[in-house]
Amino acid sequence: IGSNSVETDSQTEWTDVQKKIIPWKNTTPSLDLEMVFQDRAAKLGKSNSRLIVVASLIDKPTNLGGLCRTSEIFGASALVVGGLHYLQDKQFQHLSVSAEQWLPLVEVNGNIQKKTEGYTIIGVEQTAKSFDLTEYCFPEKSLLLLGNEHEGIPANLIHHLDVCVEIPQQGIIRSLNVHVSGALLIWEYTRQQVIKQKQQK
């Protein structure tokens, strides 16, 4: 077998590869980072997402960094945090992988008045009246409130919510990590409201 034949076989074998690209690590010297930003902004402008993720009760930088990354990847409208100082935390930055540069982050300022704008306030919490995630249909305008790592959503806030949604579980441990819970609901919203709409067009 000649060397050309081996090279051809090798190329055929590796036709399916990862397509994740980090633009600023590209070796092309003429890469214009501003063009990358404009391209990303144009793509975000085409997103139909009306999802706001509120993580102001969360105080661990790792969870906030992971949520920032997840929210950006799935095109959430914004991530609300308890303070913008988290952005300078090394643990946050390690988990977010620069997602804060692409996603609007808002520091919570008192009560978030979104009901008057037509948003449904959805709590991620296990309550007596909570809906099973597999059976819940997300409204287009959804505000997702995530609870604190240890205490969940405080009882005095639950009565302000329009609905609580919980993730069905099979194990003994009663709760997931808050970033994991948030990621599951963000994905389900995206699947229902964004991906299906694109498929219907």
User: How far from 193 is each of 32, 34, 55, 56, 128, CA to CA, in Å?
Assistant: 33, 30, 21, 24, 27
DSSP per position, the chain:
--HHHHHHHHHHHT-S------GGG---TT--HHHHHHHHHHHHHT---EEEEE-TT---HHHHHHHHHHHHHTT-SEEEES-GGGGG-HHHHHHHTTGGGTS-EEE--S----GGGT-EEEEE---TTPEEGGG----SEEEEEPPBTTTBS-HHHHTT-SEEEE----SSS----HHHHHHHHHHHHIIIIIIHHHHH-
Dist. CA 98–CA 124, nearest whole Å: 26
Domain chopping of the chain, boundaries: 33-200
| 2 vs 40, residue with greater confidence | 2
Mean pLDDT of the chain: 82
The pLDDT of residue 199 = 74
- Average pLDDT of the residues in 157-170: 94
- Average pLDDT of the residues in 61-90: 96
Domain 33-200 in this protein, CATH class = alpha beta
| pLDDT tens digit sequence for 103-158 | 999 998 655 667 778 999 999 999 999 999 999 999 999 999 999 999 999 999 99
Closest C-alpha among 111, 66, 113 to residue 86: 66
